[in-house]
Amino acid sequence: MTYFAIKHTPSGMFLPIRAGRQRGYTNDEPTNAKPPRLFTASRNAKLALAQWLQGPLTVSYYEDHNGEWDESWDRGKHDRKAEDMQIVELELHEVAR
């Protein structure tokens, strides 16, 4: 089975998968302490990388002056570089025991 992952080429580390909640990936940093986040299509990995390269995203919710809820989106400062990242193809094989 073929999957795609996002690799930080200088370190060899991958953007990780998250357990449970599936939002907030822009706040993650490459690591080898967790399994890599896998995508079934290279297009999906490219879209995720494009969002990640824009920097960490924080969404704040607040009640406006009319009593309605609204949200504010903010991108944090970062030094992420597209040339440091790569979409890699991973082939998974079942191992008989």
Side chain identity, residue 25 = Y
The set of residues, in sequence order, having a beta carbon less than 8 Å from that of 14 and lying 6+ positions away, is 5, 6, 7, 8, 30, 31, 32, 36, 37
Going from the C-alpha of 96 to that of each of 34, 41, 71, 83, the distances in angstroms are 24, 26, 50, 38
The C-alpha angle 63, 59, 37, rounded to 5 degrees, equals 150
Q: pTM of this prediction? A: 0.82
The pLDDT-based confidence of 76 (bands split at 50, 70, 90) is confident
The 3-state DSSP class for residue 79 equals coil
The pLDDT tens digits of the residues spanning 43-60 come to: 999 999 999 999 998 888
The pLDDT-based confidence of 73 (bands split at 50, 70, 90) is confident
| Residue carrying structure tokens 């080429």 | 9
The pLDDT tens digits of the residues spanning 4-53 come to: 999 999 999 999 998 766 667 898 999 999 999 999 999 999 999 999 99
Q: In the prediction, which pLDDT does 65 show?
A: 84
